[in-house]
Structure 1
Amino acid sequence: MHIAIDLDNTVLDATTAHITYYNKASGMALTAADIQDFYIYRSYGWNKEERDLVYAKHGRDIHWHSAPYPNAADSLRQLSLQHELSIITARPMLFRDVTIDWLNHHKFTYTHISFAENKLEACIAAKVDVLIDDAPHYAEEFARMRKPIILYDQPYNRAVTSEFVLRAANWVEVTGHIQHLATGLK
């Protein structure tokens, strides 16, 4: 099976790192509990252009200092023994090097990496069987296409429901969903 995996808030805690640097830039003191929107910058009252300025200045540090979720690297190592794994991230190419360095530093296993704003298109082109992601809009797109998505549970994606959306609160649950899907594809 070909599995596509998102990075931010799927294999790693991007929210905490973003908050650290967004608080520094804004003078605010938000916590993860304050974030209820996929687009974290909205919690700071910023528009996209304001966010882009902060992200350009702090993005490398944000991505380097993001902590991996428990069992994510081990789960992907195990899954790589039986499946093809592609990292598909919407991060800008500007952060390609820090992303690859971070993955290597934390010993993540994958076959391919792609930086793509349109994940559905990237997954179709790569003939992906299932996507693991946290983004509500990607989950909705995949469900409309009748493609399975494992939605890594976050406060901002809890309203998304579909028979094609499989929720996971941790990497043990992700692995269980993959095993179930792989059995159904045989």
Structure 2
Amino acid sequence: MLRLGIDIDGTVTAQDTFVPYLNESFQCAMTLDDMTEYDLTKLLKISQEEFWGWMDQHEPLIYKQAKPAEDAKEILDEMKQQHRLIYITARRQQHSDITYKWFQEHDVHYDAIELVGGHHKLEAVQKHKIDVFFEDHHGNATMIAKEADIPVILFNSPYNQMPIDDRIIRVNNWQEASQWIKQYEQRLQTAY
């Protein structure tokens, strides 16, 4: 049994979740392909203060209405049979109720959910003794792979195209992530 650490936004939820809300609020017509940086302030040409003001106002609705990524629920249902599913998210603590409710409404299994309130997930990864982490944020993936010395499955997106090290596995979807986990399990069994 592996202890799988899983990010929520852009990993379990669809990567384009924020796009319609950004387009409506900032009168633009961006697509996910336009989001070549994780820092949206540069793309929107707004300050951090403006961005976080917008987030304070819109985050609850966005999280509530987020759609699961394609095949995420089905693959996670398979994985829950053999592994512990521990979600570690940058969401702030004030969104705890919305987060748990989303998991219940979408019938997505969890063994634990930890809202760390920022992109510093390493402490939670170590606390939960995570074996493999699933992430869409390049910086988080790099830090976790390096500091925790574990494999990180990075869900490919326009905003995470920077170079990766050999502990990071780039995948395009949940099917590929599942296939990698199965191969990893086989390698672990063969090693023992």
- What TM-score do the two structures reach when normalised by structure 1? 0.93
Partner of 1:29 in structure 2?
29
2: distance between equivalents of 1:119 and 1:24? 31
Partner of 1:2 in structure 2?
3
Letter in 2 for 1:132: F
Letter in 2 for 1:69: A
Letter in 2 for 1:37: E
Superposed displacement of residue 14, structure 1: 4.4
Which of the residues 177, 180, 184 maps onto 1:177?
180
Q: Supply the RMSD in Å over aligned alpha carbons.
A: 1.4
Which of the residues 143, 150, 154 maps onto 1:151?
154
Mapped pair 1:135 → 2:137: yes
1: distance between equivalents of 2:151 and 2:23? 36
Which residues of 2 match residues 41-52 of structure 1 at below 5 A? 41-52=41-52
2: distance between equivalents of 1:162 and 1:86? 24
2: distance between equivalents of 1:130 and 1:157? 19
Secondary structure in 2 matching 1:68: coil
Deviations 1:34-58 (A, max 9, x none): 2111123431112221111111111
1: distance between equivalents of 2:175 and 2:28? 35
- What TM-score do the two structures reach when normalised by structure 2? 0.90
Letter in 2 for 1:153: N
Letter in 1 for 2:139: H
* Identity within the alignment, %: 28
Letter in 2 for 1:85: L
1: distance between equivalents of 2:12 and 2:42? 23
Mapped pair 1:113 → 2:116: no
2: distance between equivalents of 1:90 and 1:79? 22
Consecutive unaligned residues of structure 2, counting only runs of 5 or more, are none
Moved more, 84-93 or 117-126: 117-126
2: distance between equivalents of 1:30 and 1:127? 38
Superposed displacement of residue 73, structure 1: 0.5
Secondary structure in 1 matching 2:133: strand
Consecutive unaligned residues of structure 1, counting only runs of 5 or more, are none
Indicate if the aligned counterparts of 1:140 and 1:160 stay in contact, CA closer than 8 A.
no
Q: Flag as ranges the 4+ runs of structure 1 deviating above 6 A.
A: none
1: distance between equivalents of 2:48 and 2:188? 41
Kindly tell me the number of residue pairs found equivalent between the two proteins.
185
1: distance between equivalents of 2:10 and 2:129? 23
